Amino acid sequence: MQSGIGIDQTPPSERCILAGLDIRKLNRGASALPGGLPPEQSLDELAELASSAGAEVVGMALQTREKPSPATLLGIGKVRELQAWAAEAHCDFVLIDRDLTPSQHRNLEREIGCPVLDRTQLILDIFAKHARSKTGRLQVELAQLEYLLPRLAGRGSEMSRLGGGIGTRGPGETKLEHDRRKIRGRIVKLRRDLRRVRATRRLQRSNRDSVPVPTVALCGYTNAGKSTLFNRLTRSRVVADARMFATLDPTIRKLRTPSGKPTLLSDTVGFIRDLPPTLIEAFAATLEEVGEAALIVHVVDITAENRDVHTSEVNGVLKKIGAAQAPQILVLNKSDLNDPEENERLVEVGRAAGWAREVVAASAKTGAGLDVLLEVVDAALAEGLYVRRQFRLPFREGAALAALYEHGKVVSRQEDAEGIEVLADVTPALADRMARFEAGVGAAADGASRSRG
């Protein structure tokens, strides 16, 4: 009934073929991929990444081999097949589910006759597309140039052939044509700029610490639902999207906890299996925020087939950025899509196995379980961060009293002829700052975590 004309009115997205390598046989059935995913599932994840980059996946191919070919990764037979297929299907590029060496990259492009992208390049492209802030753009550009530099030899002129499409976003065509020396110079400058950003952020954090409000950092695999959760908990509207890496730039907002204690919540970039090392390094300024959080809320998509791989990847990255020691609460998100009994079972399994100090099933979408999550966050913060102290403040110390109200949680207050007596839950840093006003030691020894506002 439908005529062939006019079916696809939308601007054509770039078309690509995905190709992966299965070297399982060598390892007697165990997955040979570093990320620990079977090659088929790894290809599926790559397809998801490709559509997040705005590409249309025309087809996928998996080759089983004893070992990767040093020259072309895939066997030459498969490469020829890809060449024919790519031409026939009018592909804009071929996407390889591995990271390619510079020479494999060149050889494949020559043999297949169209641009070839590897997994890292695709991830870099998505980052480039989603980077909004100046810092975000600097970080992506640095990662892209670091990736490009060793691949520049012998392909300077070819670079200009690639249009403004996937794999070429970010640094831009003209910069890609610059010689190595110029790229090195640019890298040095970007590194310097980013060092400055880090220094500024560090300063901002230490200012935040002198006005001690604990930060809770959301982290997790890309698409786990961090931004959806962030929006619900802080009544914000950061972009939440089914595409991967919707969030790049960190956002911080006030979090309302049941105790009413001032707390900040931060949302930031998601992680992925085998996150390119250049990205981890380039995103140091962003990831440092996570590293210094008082508490990490690790969000995992309970419905993800590979959620175990996802959680261990996230924990791996946390380790790399020095955040492995921070207390962690695990949120099994998207519980609305799961059987309630299965949710409960997983929470029990997680608690018993000690996945995190607390495990909570929740739905950022429906709000189910978020009350429990907030209670748990409150308790964790109270235990780790707040101490109850009794202060005696002369009337003239209005600023100190204001600080207690603003940055602590005042439990009770009494006035007499000499001044004001305040019982408050405060962070150790605020307690230090206010130490000279502290009333007799032990005045308020019990129940530091019990107060309700």
Ligand X SMILES: Nc1nc2c(ncn2[C@@H]2O[C@H](COP(=O)(O)OP(=O)(O)OP(=O)(O)O)[C@@H](O)[C@H]2O)c(=O)[nH]1
Q: Considering the rule CB under 5 A, would residue 223 count as an interface residue with Mg ion?
A: no
Contact between 246 and ligand X by CB under 6 A: the answer reads: yes
Q: Is 390 in the site for Mg ion (CB under 5 A)?
A: no
Q: Which of 9-17, 245-253, 315-323, 408-416 is the region at the interface with Mg ion (rule: CB under 5 A)?
A: 245-253
240 interacts with ligand X by CB under 6 A: yes
**Cβ contacts of 212 within 8 Å, gap of 6 or more:** 407, 426, 427, 428, 429, 430
Strand partners, 413: 422
Kindly state whether residue 410 participates in binding ligand X, applying the rule CB under 6 A: no
Q: Tell me if 241 contacts ligand X by CB under 6 A.
A: yes
- Indicate the residue among 149 and 238 with the shorter CB distance to ligand X: 238
Neighbours of 247 (CB within 10 A): 21
Which one of the spans 82-90, 142-150, 234-242, 342-350 is the region binding ligand X (CB under 6 A)? 234-242
CA distance 142 to 281: 9
Q: Does 333 bind ligand X (CB under 6 A)?
A: yes
244 binds ligand X (CB under 6 A): yes
The number of angstroms, rounded, from the C-alpha of 385 to the middle of its chain's C-alpha atoms is: 25
* Residue number with CB closer to Mg ion (227 or 234): 227
Beta-sheet pairing, 419-426 with 387-394: antiparallel
**Measured from the CB atom, is 223 or 234 closer to ligand X?**
223
- Does 245 participate in binding ligand X (rule CB under 6 A)? yes
Q: Is 333 in the site for Mg ion (CB under 5 A)?
A: no
Site membership for ligand X, residue 360 (CB under 6 A):
no
298 binds, among ligand X, Mg ion, none (CB under 5 to 8 A by kind): none
The reply to whether 250 sits near ligand X by the rule CB under 6 A is no
Strands (E), 262-323: 263-267, 295-301
User: Mapping DSSP to helix (H, G, I), strand (E, B) and coil, where does residue 96 land?
Assistant: strand
Contact between 251 and Mg ion by CB under 5 A: the answer reads: no
Residues near 208 by beta carbon (within 8 Å), at least 6 away in sequence: 215, 264
Choosing among ligand X, Mg ion, none, which partner's interface includes residue 7 (Cβ < 5 to 8 Å by kind)?
none
Q: Per CB under 6 A, does 359 bind ligand X?
A: no
Query: How far is CA 259 from its chain centroid?
Result: 28
Toward ligand X, which CB reaches closer, 72 or 363?
A: 363
Beta bridge partners of 409: 425
Q: Please tell me the chain's helix, strand, coil percentages from 3-state DSSP, rounded to the nearest 5.
A: 45, 20, 35
Under the criterion CB under 5 A, does residue 247 sit at the interface with Mg ion? yes
Report the residue closest to ligand X, judged by CB. Answer: 270
User: Which of the residues 279 through 308 are near Mg ion (CB under 5 A)?
Assistant: none
Identified binder of ligand X from the candidate list 255, 279, 364, 382, rule CB under 6 A: 364
Among 227, 263, 278, 328, which residue sits at the site for Mg ion (rule: CB under 5 A)? 227
Per residue, what are the HEC states of 235-272? Answer: CCCCCCCCCCCCCCCCEEEEECCCCCCCEEEEECCCEC
**Residue 337 interaction partner, one of Mg ion, ligand X, none, beta carbon < 5-8 Å per kind:** ligand X
- State yes or no: residue 403 binds ligand X (CB under 6 A): no
* Cβ at position 397, least distance to Mg ion in Å: 43
Is 297 a binding residue for ligand X by CB under 6 A? The answer is no
Instruction: Tell me whether residue 153 or residue 239 sits nearer to Mg ion (CB atom).
Output: 239
Question: What values do phi and psi take at 268, rounded to 5?
Answer: -155, -170
Q: How far apart are CA 348 and CA 351, in angstroms?
A: 5
Element (H, E) at 104: helix 102-112
Residue in 199, 337, 349, 435 binding ligand X, rule: CB under 6 A: 337
Q: Can you give the binding site for ligand X, defined by CB under 6 A?
A: 220, 222-228, 240-242, 244-247, 270, 333-334, 336-337, 363-365
Q: Can you give the binding site for Mg ion, defined by CB under 5 A?
A: 226-227, 246-247
